[in-house]
Structure 1
Amino acid sequence: MPTSTSNRKTSDIVARTISSPPHLEHLSTLSKNVRAKCLYQFSEPVSPHIAARSSLEPISDASVLAAVHDELSTYATGEDGIAIVETAGGVLSPSPSGSSQADLYRPLRLPVFMVGDHQLGGIGTTISAWESLHLRGYDVRSVALFAEDRYDNHSYLKDYFAERDIHAFSIPPPPERMTNAVEDAQSMRQYYEQAGNLEDVTAFTELFLHAHDKRISDLKSMPAEADKAIWHPFMQHRERSKDTIVAMDSAYGDYFQTYSRQRESQASSASETALLKPAFDGSASWWTQGLGHGNPQLALTAAHAAGRYGHVMFAGAVHEPALRLAQTLIEKMGNPRLSKVFYSDNGSTGMEVAVKMALRAATVRNGWSPDDEILILGLKNSYHGDTIGTMDLSEPSIYNKKVEWYSGRGHWLDFPQVKMRKGQWVVEPPEEWEGAQATFGQGSTFDSLDDVFDFEMRSQDQSLYNRYCEVMLAGQEKAGKKIGALILEPILLGAGGMMFADPLFQRCLVEAVRNKSLNPRSSRDENEWAGMPVIFDEVFTGLYRLGRFSAASFLDVDPDIVVNAKLLTGGLLPLCTTTASQSIFEAFLSDDKSDALLHGHSYTAHAVGCAVANQSLDTMMKMDRDGTWTVFKESWSQPGHDSALPAVRVTGAWSMWSSAFVKAISHRSNVDYVFALGSVLAISLKDPAGASYASTAATGVRDKLFAGKPGEQWVIHSRVLGNVLYLMAAMTTSRETLEVVEEKVFAALE
């Protein structure tokens, strides 16, 4: 699988390989402008993963990639030339580490010139190799084969690849190897000269170089073309231009490969030659990224489901991926109330479904009429999506103004927040709770994040919260308000500004609304909803984003309805589930079809998404079991309280961002507070004008992270929410990667 790059900035034609094939000795004798170098060579002519066993040091994929990248970089002198990276073996042959070579070289995503198989069975071998590369996001520019009359593979494959807009050509096979080395060298020299002058070879060379030039031209033009044609979400377009739009050539693992017109001009002045710059995906691509970009296992799973099903009608039908996913969610959430899974396309629509479920159940039990005004109870700065229904349920202050179509039918409560200030964990009551600060007393600060979740040790705070919730609900009842549901984003309020709600307060609120005096259960079933249905919006916080399968487990309560999306498919496809209790489901049972939950989508429970979700959850559950995240958890472990216990105890609350780093940045002069949980880090920056969604206090740090420093190999792409800069890792991000990210963030906060 030779892979080539003509960045037109290499001074020579250079062959690079992971093991030395016999023709390299001939290649280096052709011209003084041709140089060949073997980066890795082993004593035995066997597969690299076996040959590498003789090496004193293990050869990792990262070390091979670094060696290839560094070697190619030495030829970026500004002169014209072509660099060729020749691999050893086939597309899926093992690398020295044991991974497939297609996966090994994927982060470089060099354009591919593939050598096909001209022998018996070679048609299937060549097509399979191409499909393996195509599936992983490689661009296969050309395919070459030896011409062979008996099997005539080259004729068939030329037509096959032409239908797929891939250039294929053939050349005569090389002469037999001669026993005399001098004569053999002369024979090969003559063969190379003749083959190099063939019309097909000349056409291939021109085509390959043209394709490379077009790739660069298209990449450079994308920001300007996007400025003309694209309406971007969640941004004011007066702040956007062709110079600020980032073109993404590809993505793999934790990184985008990005092009920026603005950065190109800065790099030119700094004498940098790289057109593409890797950028750490600091927002986890709007919180979806879980298993890394370009994950080959997810891509294979998606391809299999697409080949098996495509998309099939789901109304009144079922397919295996959807059934298995529903069963997994019901089982693994550990919530005995949940029994039915409803599929939709994204978190916003999933939340709209959840509200319809809850309001129907509350209306049926309470005997409310369609004319009654029914409120939703939630938290200030909550945000549950962009459909008209969910926008109605979000607290208006998120945008600092009320738009005319934004009715905001709800009652929103301010809430205590968890923050780290100057190295100290604090639970800070809202300003509207008069006298609450004095009531908190010593209970307002904590030695560790684990202590915040130790509800048994927080009896004083619990008494305060219980009284507040009881008085609030009594006031609503006295005023004749009808509340149809409680909606919470457990632990973290995401789009509203990355706010860490005190889990004890959320727990007390759930228990308060389930008070039997409000609306007792209609039966003795302890899993039936009481008071009002409780909806947990885990679109962002669920499925290991905060370190656990279920974010509800942090509160030790069982909601009646749970919505999941984002990490559900590991960051590959849109899909959402709304999982409800049996008593919620039964509120829709009737002989009248109009009483059913009349909500659905053309692509409901699409098989590709469900299959990918199953693979994603299987992978993350395995990571949870096999100790993948132990290195992160150890950073948050606390000393044992008993001398008879081990020196540390495993923490219940942990983050992929190190405890030492979080504490260090909390002391920065421009930082108001910080917190980290699971893969999420949030840094609230001080703003003299006040902290709000409209604040620009964090944009300077964001821009500094993306600009990077001269000579840096990669930068950080991030997003901000007002004065809050947040970063997220994928669940597969390594400790080594995050250590470098932490260093860059710490420096950017100066």
Structure 2
Amino acid sequence: MPLLFPNLRVHQVFGANTDVGKTLLTTALIRSSASRYAGAGKRIFYLKPVSTGPESESDVAFVERHTRQYADRIATRNLFQYREPMSPHLAAQLAPDLPFPKSNDELVRGVEKYVAEVASGLAGKDGHVFVETAGGVHSPALHPPHTQSTFLRPLRLPAVLIASPHLGGISTTLASYESLSIRGYDVNAVLCLHDPYYRNDTFLRDYFKDRGVGFWNVRRPPQKQGTVEEDAARLAEWYASVEGLGGEQEGEGGVGGAVDWLDRKHVERIEEIRSMPRRTLDQVWWPFTQHGLVNTEQQVMVIDSAHGDFFDAYYAKPKGEEAAAEESILEPFFDGAASWFTQSHGHATEELTLAAAEAAGRYGHVLFPSGSHKPALELAEKLLATVGKGWASRVFYSDNGSTGMEVALKAALRASGKRYGWQGEIGGDVGVIGLRGGYHGDTIGAMDATEASTFNKAVDWYKGRGHWFSPPAVLVEDGAATVSTTGPDAWPGLPDSLAPSSKATPDGWAVPFGSVADVYDLKTRSTSPLAEYYRAHIRETLADLTAQGRQFGALVIEPTCLGAGGMVFVDPLFQLCMVDVARASADLFAGARDDAAYAAELARPHDASEWRGLPIIFDEVFSGLYRFGYHNASSVMGTTPDISCYAKILTGGLLPLSATVASSSIFNAFLSDRKVDALLHGHSYTANPMGCAVALRALKMIEDNDAADTWAAPKADWGVSTKDESARWSLWRREFVDQLSRLPQVKGAMAMGTVLAVDLHDPDADYGSLVGQAFLDRLRAHPVADPTGSAPPFRIHSRPLGNVAYVMTSLWTKGETVRAMEDVILEELQKA
């Protein structure tokens, strides 16, 4: 849980290395804080999460010895103590008889629990907690391969860095500071013991001043000499001399100014967070938001930071209902909307952050036309060897899913135009074939490739170009996997062989299946009577449209699921049949042409790699790269596209980047000796090196987890072999989806991969429905407790799609966290 209390300052003390005076200076801060606020009743607390070495020589013992005169207002605590004076992970191994946390998360929970107990026990008075780490910034955690700065990151406590005064200390200190900063820590202050010979402070002071970080050069403690008692007396005199000095940031040899500075930074942080809702309402224009409905400070979610699956967020409360001083103003929220479908690898993932930083340091951004750089080239090679394996030959980079789809549409329509004779026709009315509820982005071409809807009907220059079939959808309804028709299409009667098991619905018909796995068994279903029924319906519809003079240049589908269009899981057999018919119907797409040259074009033998009928575009911006438990849609559909588009999960959600992957026959449509024939489309940030580097790392993380059978348990729950790429499974339990589907207020539910969708009953079911928001509001107000302690108590945050409520996990959200959310979702739905 985030630890930001109005009445309690909490700071985490890191050392640039061992033997830099970390405990010595932490004790000075404690003494100074205790002495400077003696009359205010302020309490000071010292926490050492992990300590190594004999207990009598521990840091806790040291702090207690040198703060005895303030014992009435200072408390100390050590969570885990190991006897051997060595790295914590090794010391713990040599003490099997001592308590040992099962995970680094358990240690983090211990820190959270201690600080929360301190805050609640202050009864409105002020306090200050100093959490001292062990060794340096990257000293190993109890459970490698994590280091301190990594496993303590979920706390994101404001940091105090103790600089190294030794030879080489400037480099060590700056490396430590940069390591903390790149991981999202706020380094509030830097303290350094003065060394008159090396004088590292002469460099460090200006370096940190330029970055707004307080710096204190602290008078050097006395050398050890004489008896233990004499040393202790001299050290006591030194402490007394430094605890109240140093009022100016430049330093006067003491730490008193640092204490004042930390207090001020704490107050400023809280004031800034509390001011952000009003400032945002006054100055920001949100996407997809009606400001007439979202206009109070209590509706603004201020995200202070994000890590893993969670936001640390602030919601303002009405006057008179503000949190008590001993309550944290921040709360953890599970990112159930995956930050608009982007987040997949966890927020602030260290591996992706470092990949971005390395590329930023090497390249920044560089232009790409007629050039190359390592991240872009290697990413193209990776995509062609994975999602494009066996069919694609080229990768075109752009900056987001919508622009990636603009590229796909331009490429497909140009290829069709060249073949069918409308190349370069200005003002032509060539359309696409797609699905109702499809959504490909908000650039004008991508908008025109979808039917009129809430997303585009208020756009004055929108002109829908195409025909959109109403897709049969997959839902688990009352415990049964069901495929049913939706929308206004006039569906003909089902074949007799299907009629006994089917039933009539207001939109046509519904067919039950034995299981979700049966629905996605396309090897069996592709030769079924339903497949023939689909193909006939699609072919007849297209024949009628082309007879009316309609012309089409591409088939565009979102495989598996229409995301923004309502989280509709489309019958994959229907999409496969759309591809089959589009490829087999060149005669329908030729328009009025009947000349001999065109007849010869149709008659000539075509290479197997050439597109046929119409170019097929798979929009996998949302669904691809394991969002739904598969690498790419070809493994589900059993067929490949001519163009596919990837974004969002491509970089794990960290940076905007999209890749449009195309076959050689699409690419060849743009080859000539005239520049005007090229694909004249591009973006200033095409093939951004940071985005490409992060994408390479994100893809490797997926491959590594797949190879390690990370998803073996959820696959087993769904009865799926870990090696079966075509079978469907989810991180959400099969039994849970069954339970949801049987609730009276639920029309149906569906889960695949990371995504759970709940279709709630509403007579006005569409994007404007409010029932989904009402349910998610109740869900957000319901605390979720993870019984294993692997996650702090949290709430679920998501956004509705009309009457559809959905919750998405990351690719490696812990099973215990998902189980805890399942319990709360069921509980809230059962109340309605």
Please report the TM-score for the alignment, with normalisation by the length of structure 2.
0.85
Contact 2:586/2:614 (8 A) holds in 1: no
Task: Answer yes or no: is 1:164 the counterpart of 2:211.
Answer: yes
Residue in 2 aligned with 1:35? Answer: 75
Residue in 2 aligned with 1:65? Answer: 108
Task: Answer yes or no: is 1:26 the counterpart of 2:80.
Answer: no
Contact 1:536/1:561 (8 A) holds in 2: yes
Task: Answer yes or no: is 1:248 the counterpart of 2:323.
Answer: no
What is the correspondence of 1:41-190 to structure 2 with a 5 Å cutoff? 41-53=81-93, 54-55=95-96, 57-76=100-119, 77=122, 78-98=124-144, 99-177=146-224, 182-190=229-237
Distance in structure 1 (CA, Å) of the matches to 2:321 and 2:476? 37
Residue in 1 aligned with 2:438? Answer: 382
What is the correspondence of 1:656-671 to structure 2 with a 5 Å cutoff? 656-671=731-746
Residue in 1 aligned with 2:472? Answer: 416
Structure 1, residues 368-414: CA drift from partner, whole Å, max 9, x if none? 25154211100011111000111111111355956432211111111
Q: 1:191 Cα shift?
A: 2.2
Task: Answer yes or no: is 1:675 the counterpart of 2:755.
Answer: no
Residue in 2 aligned with 1:209? Answer: 263
Distance in structure 1 (CA, Å) of the matches to 2:212 and 2:604? 65
Distance in structure 2 (CA, Å) of the matches to 1:475 and 1:100? 65
Residue in 2 aligned with 1:461? Answer: 530
The 3-state SS of whatever aligns with 2:127 is coil
Distance in structure 2 (CA, Å) of the matches to 1:101 and 1:673? 45
Distance in structure 2 (CA, Å) of the matches to 1:90 and 1:524? 65
Contact 1:12/1:81 (8 A) holds in 2: yes
Contact 1:49/1:96 (8 A) holds in 2: yes
The 3-state SS of whatever aligns with 1:326 is helix
Q: 1:265 Cα shift?
A: 6.3
- The aligned amino acid for 1:715 is R
Contact 2:334/2:796 (8 A) holds in 1: yes
Tell me which moved more, 365-374 or 420-429: 365-374
Of 684, 689, 693, 2:767 maps to: 693
Contact 2:333/2:796 (8 A) holds in 1: yes
The 3-state SS of whatever aligns with 1:142 is strand
Residue in 2 aligned with 1:622? Answer: 704
Distance in structure 2 (CA, Å) of the matches to 1:536 and 1:543? 13
Task: Answer yes or no: is 1:451 the counterpart of 2:514.
Answer: no
The 3-state SS of whatever aligns with 1:473 is helix
Distance in structure 1 (CA, Å) of the matches to 2:320 and 2:650? 39
Contact 1:348/1:387 (8 A) holds in 2: yes
Structure 1, residues 34-62: CA drift from partner, whole Å, max 9, x if none? 11111110010100010111245454111
Distance in structure 2 (CA, Å) of the matches to 1:396 and 1:591? 39
The 3-state SS of whatever aligns with 2:707 is helix
Q: 1:551 Cα shift?
A: 2.0
Residue in 2 aligned with 1:311? Answer: 365
Distance in structure 2 (CA, Å) of the matches to 1:344 and 1:710? 39
Residue in 2 aligned with 1:744? Answer: 824
The 3-state SS of whatever aligns with 1:87 is strand
Structure 1, residues 100-149: CA drift from partner, whole Å, max 9, x if none? 00011110100001101001111111110000000001000110010011
Contact 1:674/1:684 (8 A) holds in 2: yes
Contact 2:456/2:462 (8 A) holds in 1: no
- Taking a change above 3 Å as real, the CA distance of residues 115 and 479 of structure 1, as seen in their structure-2 partners, is same
Distance in structure 1 (CA, Å) of the matches to 2:825 and 2:399? 35
Task: Answer yes or no: is 1:292 the counterpart of 2:346.
Answer: yes
- Taking a change above 3 Å as real, the CA distance of residues 266 and 372 of structure 1, as seen in their structure-2 partners, is same
Distance in structure 2 (CA, Å) of the matches to 1:335 and 1:675? 30
Q: 1:216 Cα shift?
A: 0.3
Unmatched segments (≥5 aa) in structure 2: 10-41, 52-57, 503-510, 590-601, 786-791
Q: 1:680 Cα shift?
A: 0.7
Distance in structure 1 (CA, Å) of the matches to 2:603 and 2:806? 41
Distance in structure 1 (CA, Å) of the matches to 2:516 and 2:340? 26
The 3-state SS of whatever aligns with 2:584 is coil
Q: 1:321 Cα shift?
A: 0.3
Residue in 2 aligned with 1:16? Answer: 47
- The aligned amino acid for 1:660 is E
- The aligned amino acid for 1:602 is S
Distance in structure 2 (CA, Å) of the matches to 1:223 and 1:438? 58
- Taking a change above 3 Å as real, the CA distance of residues 399 and 157 of structure 1, as seen in their structure-2 partners, is closer
Contact 2:619/2:646 (8 A) holds in 1: yes
Q: 1:33 Cα shift?
A: 0.7
The 3-state SS of whatever aligns with 1:698 is helix
Contact 2:8/2:326 (8 A) holds in 1: no
Structure 1, residues 590-634: CA drift from partner, whole Å, max 9, x if none? 111111111111111010100000000011111111111111111
Task: Answer yes or no: is 1:508 the counterpart of 2:577.
Answer: yes
Unmatched segments (≥5 aa) in structure 1: 641-645
Distance in structure 2 (CA, Å) of the matches to 1:677 and 1:521? 43
Taking only the aligned residue pairs, the percentage that are identical comes to 41
Q: 1:516 Cα shift?
A: 5.6
Structure 1, residues 338-367: CA drift from partner, whole Å, max 9, x if none? 110000010011101100000000000111
Structure 1, residues 510-542: CA drift from partner, whole Å, max 9, x if none? 011100653658643111000010001000000
- The aligned amino acid for 2:814 is S
Contact 1:400/1:693 (8 A) holds in 2: no
- The aligned amino acid for 1:238 is G
Tell me which moved more, 625-634 or 167-176: 167-176
- Taking a change above 3 Å as real, the CA distance of residues 272 and 556 of structure 1, as seen in their structure-2 partners, is farther
Q: 1:430 Cα shift?
A: 3.0
What is the correspondence of 1:253-264 to structure 2 with a 5 Å cutoff? 253-262=308-317
Structure 1, residues 260-310: CA drift from partner, whole Å, max 9, x if none? 0138965638x9712100000000101111111111111111111011111
Residue in 1 aligned with 2:323? Answer: 268
Q: 1:673 Cα shift?
A: 0.8
Distance in structure 1 (CA, Å) of the matches to 2:603 and 2:176? 61
Residue in 2 aligned with 1:328? Answer: 382
Distance in structure 1 (CA, Å) of the matches to 2:624 and 2:276? 35
Please report the TM-score for the alignment, with normalisation by the length of structure 1.
0.94
Distance in structure 2 (CA, Å) of the matches to 1:4 and 1:252? 14
Q: 1:160 Cα shift?
A: 1.5
- Taking a change above 3 Å as real, the CA distance of residues 147 and 521 of structure 1, as seen in their structure-2 partners, is farther
- Taking a change above 3 Å as real, the CA distance of residues 40 and 522 of structure 1, as seen in their structure-2 partners, is farther
Of 689, 694, 704, 2:778 maps to: 704
Distance in structure 2 (CA, Å) of the matches to 1:331 and 1:167? 50
Distance in structure 1 (CA, Å) of the matches to 2:760 and 2:107? 40
What is the correspondence of 1:728-739 to structure 2 with a 5 Å cutoff? 728-739=808-819
Contact 2:4/2:330 (8 A) holds in 1: no
**Residue correspondences, number:** 739
What is the correspondence of 1:637-652 to structure 2 with a 5 Å cutoff? 637=719, 652=727
- The aligned amino acid for 1:718 is S
Distance in structure 2 (CA, Å) of the matches to 1:435 and 1:475? 15
Distance in structure 1 (CA, Å) of the matches to 2:671 and 2:313? 52
Of 615, 637, 641, 1:559 maps to: 641
Distance in structure 1 (CA, Å) of the matches to 2:83 and 2:166? 28
Distance in structure 2 (CA, Å) of the matches to 1:486 and 1:306? 38
Tell me which moved more, 396-405 or 30-39: 396-405
- Taking a change above 3 Å as real, the CA distance of residues 115 and 550 of structure 1, as seen in their structure-2 partners, is same
- The aligned amino acid for 1:94 is P
Task: Answer yes or no: is 1:655 the counterpart of 2:730.
Answer: yes
Contact 1:348/1:384 (8 A) holds in 2: yes
RMSD: 2.4
Contact 2:478/2:738 (8 A) holds in 1: yes
Contact 2:323/2:329 (8 A) holds in 1: no
What is the correspondence of 1:329-348 to structure 2 with a 5 Å cutoff? 329-348=383-402
Q: 1:422 Cα shift?
A: 1.2
